[in-house]
Amino acid sequence: VELAEICAKSERFIGTEGGGMDQSISFLAEEGTAKLIEFCPLRATDVKLPSGAVFVIANSCVEMNKAATSHFNIRVMECRLAAKLLAKYKNLQWDKVLRLEEVQAKLGVSLEEMLQITEEVLHPEPYSSEEVCRCLGISLQELQTQILTPNTQD
């Protein structure tokens, strides 16, 4: 567990906002078992699979230089901004929120209720930086320096 956490954290030194799923299963996998991996804190639980279940592992043969592009971080940033917008709308301390899970926990709502809140509050069209700033009551400079990572600022 400690090595998986160290490896996941090390990706952040190159600017990747990864979650650590690959590192965790690499260290915590056991032959003949499937794992449910959860974070904060990292833990892996054996999962019983139905008889005859199989895994198909495929390589897309697509290389990704996580340090050179923003592709890997875009979804992380989109979710982070969504969490902050929802927290602000619900009068929570939005500037401390990083994950949607935190908003759900602070509101004490079920997954279904969280989905309903999300659909009511957020629109499906992309948000501009200016709109995010207006909703959060911050400047573009604050958005870029305090929330976004260097490779997601544009």
Which tokens hold the place of 87?
A: 């927290």
154 is catalytic: no
Q: Rounded to the nearest 10 degrees, how much is the dihedral formed by the CA atoms of 55, 59, 64, 65?
A: 90
Residue for token pair 């997954």? 111
Closest CA to 4 of 69, 19, 14: 19
Neighbours of 103 (CB within 10 A): 25
Neighbours of 92 (CB within 10 A): 17
How far apart CA 6 and CA 20 sit, in angstroms, is 9
Q: Which of 22, 46, 95, 154 is catalytic?
A: 22
Q: Which residues are catalytic?
A: 22
